[in-house]
Structure 1
Amino acid sequence: MSSMSRSSMPRSSNRSSNRTSSVPGPPTGSLTPARRVGLALWAVQVLYVPVELLAAALSTAPYSLLHNTMSDLGATACTTVPYPAQDVPVCSPAHAWVNASFVLFGLAMAVGAVLLRPLLPDGRTTTAAVVLWVVAGASSVGAGLTPLDRALELHALVSTPGIVVSGAAVALTGGALARSWRRPAWWWLVAVGAVGLVAGALLVVRLDVRWGGLLERVALWPSFAACTLVAVALLVRARRGAAPRAVQSR
Structure 2
Amino acid sequence: MKISKNVGITSWILTCMYFVIEPFFVMSSIAPYSLMDHAMSDLGVTSCGEYTYALAAYDICSPYHFWMNILFIVNGITFSIGILYLSQQLEQNKKNRIGTICLLLLALGNIVSGFIPADVNLFWHSIFAQLGMVTFLIGLWLFGKLLVRGKWWTYCILVSLIILVVFIVLLIFIPLPAGLLQRMFYGVTFLWGTVLAVILANNKGAYR
TM (norm. structure 1) is: 0.69
- Structure with more contact order per residue of length (Cα contacts < 8 Å, sep ≥ 6): 1
Larger of the two Rg values belongs to structure: 1
The match for 2:61 is: 91
Unpaired segments ≥5 residues, structure 1: 1-31
Asked if the contact 2:109–2:127 (Cα under 8 Å) also holds between the matched residues in 1, the reply is no
C-alpha displacement of 1:66: 1.5
The match for 1:117 is: 87
The match for 2:182 is: 216
Q: Match of 1:34, SS?
A: coil
Unpaired segments ≥5 residues, structure 2: none
C-alpha displacement of 1:103: 0.8
The match for 2:38 is: 68
CA spacing shift, 1:115–1:84, aligned 2, 3 Å? same
Q: Match of 2:119, SS?
A: coil
Q: Match of 2:30, SS?
A: coil
Q: What is the RMSD of the two structures over their aligned residues, measured on CA atoms? A: 3.0
- The one of 5, 17, 25 equivalent to 1:47 is 17
- The one of 139, 145, 163 equivalent to 1:195 is 163
More deviation, 220-229/114-123: 114-123
C-alpha displacement of 1:123: 6.1
Percentage of matched positions with identical amino acids? 25
- The one of 102, 119, 125 equivalent to 1:149 is 119
Paired with 2:48 and 2:206, the residues of 1 have a C-alpha distance of 54
More deviation, 222-231/82-91: 82-91
Aligned amino acid, residue 4 of structure 2: R
- Count of residue pairs the alignment pairs up: 207
